[in-house]
Amino acid sequence: MLRDITLGQYYQTDSIIHRLDPRVKISGTLLFLVSLFIVDNFIGYLIAALFLVMAIKLSRVPLKFIFKGMKAIYLLLLITMIFNLLLTPGTPIFTIWKIKITIEGIKTAVMMGVRLVFLITGSSIMTLTTTPNQLTDGLEKLLNPMKKLHVPVHEIAMMMSIALRFIPILLEETDKIMKAQMARGADFESGSLINRAKSLIPLLVPLFISAFRRANDLAMAMEARCYRGGEGRTKMKPLVYRKRDAIAYIVIAGYLVLCIVFGKILF
């Protein structure tokens, strides 16, 4: 039921992309997103597509999984494309009633569609191959320089990793509570909007009580182990760059150069 939701889900398997340092993947994904907005011609998109295909192949995540995330944005994708198609001024190819379809319209619609799909695919590869804990670790390390500006980087990362850690637990809990109430004849799926909102009470009350209890237990457990924030705290598995990370950075840099040269300057 609820567990089917793919929410930044991790796909467990062993691949070179899985083993990369999370910092590489975070900055790589960001740079990839930027590159999508740099390029504006066919060759540029072709390079981006090749780069994506290579990343997907290397990650060993089945295509089905990558496109699962696409379902969530497919409406957004459709609306974006239709608006661009209809509202871009330019040379009309044909006109139906008052609607003008222009060459520029088709071009931007396709471009926006491709961009969105690439954007989502690119970020899914990151979340599918990196555990939430690695992600927050990587983010903490990347944002470390901001500590100088008194940004509580460690605290933000800790909150993020706890929140991410609790998502599956609470989803599982929700599933169990729903089942327990359905066993007593509760109906979460039909009825008017007001009735449906009301029917959530038997679900939300136990869920909140359990969430507060868990939060309390966790705080106790952290305190019992003398947690006191990030000051002077070391890690059991500190992030260290390895050779493969250096290679990955070079590949990403190479990709960016190609994008700028072929996707922007030459043509």
Question: What does the binding site for another protein look like in residue numbers (CB under 8 A)?
Answer: 3, 11-13, 64-65, 173, 176-177, 179-187, 201-202, 205-206, 209-210
Shorter beta-carbon distance to another protein: residue 82 or 205: 205
* Nearer Cβ to another protein (15/123): 15
Going by C-alpha positions, the residue among 203, 215, 117 that lies closest to residue 165 is 215
Residue 54 Cβ vs another protein, minimum distance, rounded to whole Å = 21
Nearest approach, Cβ of 206 to another protein (angstroms)? 5
In whole angstroms, the minimum distance from the beta carbon of 147 to another protein comes to 37
Give least dist CB 65 to another protein, A.
Answer: 8
Which residue is associated with the tokens 């990343």?
55
Integer angstrom CA distances of residue 188 from 1, 181, 184? 12, 9, 12
Q: Name the minimum Å distance from CB 170 to another protein.
A: 13
Q: Which two tokens stand for residue 82?
A: 């239709």
* Closest to another protein by CB, 126 or 177: 177
Q: Residue 90 or residue 206: which is nearer to another protein going by CB? A: 206
For the bound state, the minimum distance from the C-beta of residue 210 to another protein, rounded and expressed in Å, comes to 6
Q: Which is nearer to another protein, 65 or 166 (CB)?
A: 65
Which token pair is 10?
């991790």
CB-nearer residue toward another protein: 133 or 210: 210
